[in-house]
């Protein structure tokens, strides 16, 4: 099970002359997106023996591939609000609205929506808790990037939300109070101030909110760089490896996986952390846990900024347009990422042309100097729980832990939730150590 490490006594372990063997806990991390890679790093920092599994050939090829780029405590408001649901109902019949729900009947979708509505009373508490997590995540993310020396096109220029009408701005004013309780400080700005903060943005707006402490960056570059550092420091990456089963017992967790078209083989661990994005629901069901994650699809375009006019015409401050629910982030000198839409249509990764067209139109309207002849479209599935809070910590089955279900804020929250789950795993290992994991030879 665990890895035996031989330690010569006389160091900090014992004052005697004996030799000791320390059993290091072996942990499997299931999934190599942002939640899996940050969890692997946090566990490694705690001195555990970590193996990461993923079906893809490289880390961060699923939802953590081309998202909106925002590390946004200012976007911590959960969507379980009566006003948001009322607005959502009017969007159902508009083709280019920010929300789209497939009318194909599905028990899973109906049950998820019912639980989503049942969470309206938790709106306030969940928004404040999310804001707190997002603020805590900032320093962990920067620490991880510094330790790993990762360049991920970090832009520390804040996030600017802008509103086109009075009622949405007034709602945002109320949200600002909740964010403040969670430790996020954002300030109201006039139309004139909006253009002073981001001169490339054209159009007139009712007003905005600016959060100077938020930032943005490329999730994919971050994950790839951090995964490489983990591997260099001893983490085993089992890529192109599909997990087919999980068995738990008093002696640990057995992960049943197959590499490529190979045979399914078991591998034994003391614990496993489920970080499998929209795949987490299936893995949880293998150990008897219910995890009602629904895949909420979103789209992005990455605009290649060719030539000086496009580079100067693109924003450097990260943006959120409240009416269209579109977010945008500058990624280094040559790329501009624009993302939006919440589509409930099962595990469907098709890229819809009309959704991409809405993102392109938004760029052309608000940034007319940007040339959109070189654009890469993408779609990804947000792993969303109905209460919009991630599941973090111990599961019901022995040895099973979760760090998953981060929905629209996985990039923003993962560095903090990885610390929380690593602490839960080490607390469990401390219990085990008391049962004799430190053994004289």
Ligand X SMILES: Cc1cc2nc3c(=O)[nH]c(=O)nc-3n(C[C@H](O)[C@H](O)[C@H](O)COP(=O)(O)OP(=O)(O)OC[C@H]3O[C@@H](n4cnc5c(N)ncnc54)[C@H](O)[C@@H]3O)c2cc1C
**CB of 339 vs ligand X, minimal distance in Å:** 4
Secondary structure (DSSP) of 3-56: EEEEEETTSSS-SSS-EEEEEEPEEEEE--SHHHHHHHHHHHHTT-EEEEE-SS
- For residues 326 and 338, is the Cβ–Cβ distance under 8 A? yes
409 near ligand X, judged by CB under 6 A: yes
Polymer length of the chain = 441
Side-chain-side CA neighbours of 165 within 13 Å: the count stands at 4
Give the list of residues 6+ apart from residue 327 with CB closer than 8 angstroms, or none.
68, 69, 70, 72, 75, 318, 319, 320, 321, 338, 339, 340
255 near ligand X, judged by CB under 6 A: no
Binding-site size for ligand X (CB under 6 A) equals: 41
Binding-site member from 26, 132, 391, 406 for ligand X (CB under 6 A): 406
Applying CB under 6 A, which part among 60-68, 90-98, 171-179, 417-425 lies near ligand X?
A: 60-68
**CB of 170 vs ligand X, minimal distance in Å:** 25
158 near ligand X, judged by CB under 6 A: no
Sign of dihedral through CA atoms 269, 39, 299, 106? positive
Applying CB under 6 A, which part among 163-171, 226-234, 360-368, 403-411 lies near ligand X?
A: 403-411
**CB of 269 vs ligand X, minimal distance in Å:** 15
CA distance 366 to 336: 13
Q: Segment 358-387, which members bind ligand X (CB under 6 A)?
A: 380, 382-383
CA distance 213 to 63: 25
64 near ligand X, judged by CB under 6 A: yes
Binding-site member from 404, 417, 426, 429 for ligand X (CB under 6 A): 404
In the complex with ligand X, which residue's Cβ is closer, 2 or 277? Answer: 277
**CB of 378 vs ligand X, minimal distance in Å:** 8
CA distance 100 to 165: 22
**CB of 431 vs ligand X, minimal distance in Å:** 27
DSSP state of 2: P
In the complex with ligand X, which residue's Cβ is closer, 9 or 247? Answer: 247
Binding-site member from 158, 217, 298, 395 for ligand X (CB under 6 A): 298
Binding-site member from 122, 236, 242, 316 for ligand X (CB under 6 A): 242
**CB of 192 vs ligand X, minimal distance in Å:** 27
Beta strand spans in 54-96 (E): 70-71
Q: Segment 4-33, which members bind ligand X (CB under 6 A)?
A: 31-33
Binding-site member from 100, 130, 229, 300 for ligand X (CB under 6 A): 300
**CB of 134 vs ligand X, minimal distance in Å:** 8
User: Helix, strand or coil for residue 308?
Assistant: helix
In the complex with ligand X, which residue's Cβ is closer, 25 or 359? Answer: 359
CA distance 166 to 206: 6
Binding-site member from 389, 411, 420, 424 for ligand X (CB under 6 A): 411
Helices and strands of the chain, counted as H and E runs: 11, 23
Whose CA is closest to 74, among 323, 327, 277?
327
34 near ligand X, judged by CB under 6 A: yes
Applying CB under 6 A, which part among 52-60, 202-210, 225-233, 361-369 lies near ligand X?
A: 52-60
315 near ligand X, judged by CB under 6 A: no
DSSP state of 280: H
In the complex with ligand X, which residue's Cβ is closer, 159 or 197? Answer: 159
Binding-site member from 14, 56, 84, 236 for ligand X (CB under 6 A): 56
In the complex with ligand X, which residue's Cβ is closer, 23 or 271? Answer: 271
**CB of 432 vs ligand X, minimal distance in Å:** 26
CA distance 362 to 330: 15
**CB of 284 vs ligand X, minimal distance in Å:** 11
In the complex with ligand X, which residue's Cβ is closer, 34 or 420? Answer: 34
In the complex with ligand X, which residue's Cβ is closer, 169 or 411? Answer: 411
- For residues 217 and 155, is the Cβ–Cβ distance under 8 A? yes
338 near ligand X, judged by CB under 6 A: no
Secondary structure (DSSP) of 401-435: EEEE-BGGGHHHHHHHHHHHHHHHHHHHHHHHHHT
- Quote the tokens at residue 267: 């591998």
- For residues 9 and 16, is the Cβ–Cβ distance under 8 A? yes
In the complex with ligand X, which residue's Cβ is closer, 169 or 299? Answer: 299
53 near ligand X, judged by CB under 6 A: yes
End-to-end CA distance of the chain: 18
Q: Which residues bind ligand X (CB under 6 A)?
A: 31-36, 53-56, 61-64, 67-70, 72, 242-243, 275-277, 279, 298-300, 327, 339, 380, 382-383, 404, 406-412
């Amino acid at each position: 099970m665990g890895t035996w490490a031989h330690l010569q006594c006389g160091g900090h372990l014992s004052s005697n002359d004996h030799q000791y063997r320390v059993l290091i806990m072996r942990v499997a991390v299931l999934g190599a997106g942002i939640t899996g890679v940050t969890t692997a790093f946090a566990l490694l920092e705690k001195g555990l023996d970590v193996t990461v599994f993923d079906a893809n050939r490289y880390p961060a090829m699923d939802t953590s591939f081309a998202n909106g780029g925002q590390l946004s405590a200012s976007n911590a408001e959960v969507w379980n609000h009566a006003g948001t649901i009322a607005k959502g109902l009017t969007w159902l019949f508009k083709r280019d609205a920010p929300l789209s729900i497939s009318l194909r009947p599905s028990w899973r979708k109906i049950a998820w929506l019912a639980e989503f509505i049942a969470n309206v009373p938790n709106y306030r508490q969940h928004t404040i808790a999310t804001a707190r997590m997002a603020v805590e995540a900032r320093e962990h993310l920067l620490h991880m990037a510094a330790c790993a020396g990762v360049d991920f096109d970090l832009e520390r220029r804040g996030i600017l939300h802008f509103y086109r009408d009075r009622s949405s701005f007034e709602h945002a004013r109320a949200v600002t109070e909740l964010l403040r309780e969670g430790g996020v400080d954002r300030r109201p700005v006039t139309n004139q101030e909006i253009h002073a903060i981001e001169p490339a943005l054209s159009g007139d707006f009712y007003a905005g909110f600016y959060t100077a402490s938020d930032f943005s960056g490329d999730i994919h570059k971050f994950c790839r760089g951090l995964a490489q550092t983990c591997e260099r420091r001893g983490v085993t990456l089992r890529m192109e490896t599909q997990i087919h089963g999980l068995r738990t017992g008093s002696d640990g967790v057995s992960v049943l996986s197959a590499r490529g078209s190979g045979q399914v083989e078991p591998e034994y661990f003391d614990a496993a952390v489920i970080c499998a994005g929209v795949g987490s629901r299936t893995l949880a069901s293998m150990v008897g846990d219910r995890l009602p994650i629904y895949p909420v699809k979103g789209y992005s375009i990455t605009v290649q900024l060719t030539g000086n006019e496009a580079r100067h015409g693109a924003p450097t401050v990260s943006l959120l347009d409240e009416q269209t629910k579109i977010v945008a982030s500058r990624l280094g000198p040559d790329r501009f990422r624009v993302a939006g839409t919440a589509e409930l249509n099962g595990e469907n990764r098709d890229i819809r042309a009309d959704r991409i067209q809405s993102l392109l139109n938004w760029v052309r309207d608000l940034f007319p100097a940007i040339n959109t002849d070189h654009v890469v479209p993408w779609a990804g599935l947000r792993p969303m729980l109905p209460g919009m809070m991630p599941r973090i910590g111990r599961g019901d089955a022995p040895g099973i832990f979760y760090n998953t279900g981060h929905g629209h804020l996985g990039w923003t929250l993962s560095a903090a939730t990885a610390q929380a789950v690593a602490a839960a795993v080490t607390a469990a290992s401390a219990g085990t150590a008391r049962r004799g994991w430190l053994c004289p030879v």
